Copies of this chain bind each other. A is one copy, B any other.
Amino acid sequence: MTLVQPFEVADLAAMHPADAVEALNDMEAEKGAALLAAMDFRSAVNILEQAGLENGAALVGEIPRAKAAPLLAEIAADRRAEIFRKMEREEARRLLALLPDHARVEMEQLLTYEPDTAGGLMTTEFFRALPEWTVAQSLEAIRTSAATLETVYAAYVVDADGALIRAVSLRELVTADPQTPILSVGSYRKPLFVHPDDPREKVARLISKYDLSAAPVIDASGKILGIVTNDDIIDAIIDDDTEDAQKQGGMEALDAPYMATSFWRMIKKRAGWLSALFLAEMLTASAMQHFESELERAVVLTLFIPLIMSSGGNSGSQATSLIIRALALEEIRLRDWWRVALRELPSGVALGAILGAVGFVRIVLWQKLGVYDYGEHWVLVGFTVSAALVGIVTFGSLTGSMLPFAIQKLGFDPASASAPFVATLVDVTGLVIYFSIALVILRGTLL
């Protein structure tokens, strides 16, 4: 095992656990493990319990098993499950065997849930109150029974079968008259809860909408299984938004920080979408081949191909990122698609008209100033480019805004409707629109 200096251990133990975690995240696992193993038990537990720890499994794997097991037994069940999930199967099996019976059974149960569900995020340690208790009795019970500080988020009142009757927040308890029965505290409402299979997005929405400190997880019979705490949910929201941002950038979500992702993994995450988009974009070559004779007769038309295509892609990218975000925040629902279409259609026409006007002015200016000669039919070329811009920007806005709805309807994540995806869709159609308009306007002159 790596040798560490006593002052290094003392420094780390003296930091706020969240700062110690940042230091550990930047360290080789071997060195971090040596520091944790040399540290007093309580400080090591406080550090391992932080949600921000990135390489918990690697750290624990490097600590001698006789030391690692008691540490694991002491930390909160949700953190422990997270560490076990990322550990190699064989190592996890050996460490599980060293846990106290109740912790092992509980862990085996927690590990059956999918990681990004309420069950996978929950901790099984929380404060249960009995329906006959007063506020004073509940507070006294919290004080005397709480295993660790981290488990006190609210008092969950359960009946004899373990079914959740009521959740009373710490704030409600502390401000209530001590002699009040706990069931009379605050204004009564059915407790808010999630089921173990609910995705973390749903838990995040519940917690942020109702400003909960934790969301209870109950099974089909109403029995409370655990709680998902709001610090986990802030992390979950940040993770979700990171995944969405990466998908919208036209790649698979990385699942790890940029620098912590290996070169080949990075290539794998990016090459898939890049190749798929490339194959789809090959249709542009086919579309161009189709118009080859027009291209040969009017090379001047090729000059504007990139300009026109990119305008369609840009307007599509704006529309798609707007709609993906609005869907993610539930500002709009699937059924609102036609309301969005009715807004994007005139928006697209207006934006296209702006670009069309700018494009026309550019052609007139270049021609008149003698920068470039677009030929004797330059006015018609200008009209062609302008009309194509209106058509393509409208088509881009409409396609970009409808694509996230279509993807969500098909059961996929609308964030996959990336800017590159929309641009590719719009490019092929954009070329066809451009050449079709050219055929109408320029027939008998250039074409």
Partner-B contacts on A (CB < 8 A)? 16, 18, 51-52, 139, 142-143, 146, 149, 152-153, 170-178, 189, 192, 207-211, 213, 230-231, 233-235, 237-238, 241-242, 244-246, 248-251, 254, 257-259, 263, 266-267, 270-271, 273-275, 277-279, 281-282, 284-285, 288-289, 292, 295-296, 299, 302-307, 309-311, 313-315, 317-318, 320-326, 329, 331-332, 336, 339-340, 343, 346-347, 350-351, 354-355, 358-359, 362, 372, 393, 418-420, 423-424, 427, 431
Q: Give bound CA distance, A283 to B139, whole Å.
A: 71
Indicate which residue in B16, B152, B241, B331 contacts A174 across the interface (CB closer than 8 Å): B152
Cα-based distance from A230 to B324 in the complex (angstroms): 26
CB-based contact A259/B355 at 8 Å: no
Distance of A322 Cα from B172 Cα, bound (Å): 43
Residue of B nearest to A373 (CB): B289
Please report whether the interface of chain A is mostly helix, strand, loop or mixed according to DSSP: helix
Q: What's the Cα separation between A305 and B372 when bound, in Å? A: 21
Asked if B310 contacts A423 (CB within 8 A), the reply is yes
A267 touching B350 by the CB < 8 A rule? yes
Contact B230 A317 (CB under 8 A): no
The 9 A-B pairs with the shortest beta carbon distances in the complex, nearest first, are: A249-B321, A419-B419, A284-B306, A258-B326, A314-B420, A211-B231, A257-B331, A241-B241, A288-B303
A305 CB contact (under 8 Å) in B277, B305, B329: B305
- State in angstroms the CA–CA spacing of A432 and B108 once bound together: 60
Copies in the complex: 2
Write the nearest CB–CB distance from A322 to chain B, whole angstroms: 6
Contact in complex: A16, B189 (CB < 8 Å): yes
How far in angstroms is the closest Cβ of chain B from A20? Answer: 12
Given contact pairs A250-B318, A258-B326, enumerate 13 new A-B contacts (beta carbons under 8 Å).
A143-B175, A238-B329, A245-B325, A249-B318, A259-B331, A263-B346, A271-B350, A281-B306, A289-B303, A299-B299, A305-B306, A309-B310, A310-B427
Pair A347/B263 contact, Cβ less than 8 Å: yes
A-B residue pairs in contact (CB < 8 Å), sample of 13: A152-B171, A152-B175, A208-B235, A246-B325, A248-B321, A249-B317, A270-B347, A274-B351, A277-B314, A278-B311, A278-B314, A285-B303, A288-B306
The answer to whether A310 touches B249 (Cβ under 8 A) is no
* Residues on B with beta carbons closer than 8 Å to the beta carbon of A424: 310, 314
- A306–B143 contact, CB under 8 A? no
- When A307-B278, A427-B310 are in contact, do A326 and B237 touch as well, CB less than 8 Å? no
Chain B residues with CB under 8 Å of A249's CB are 248, 317-318, 320-322, 419
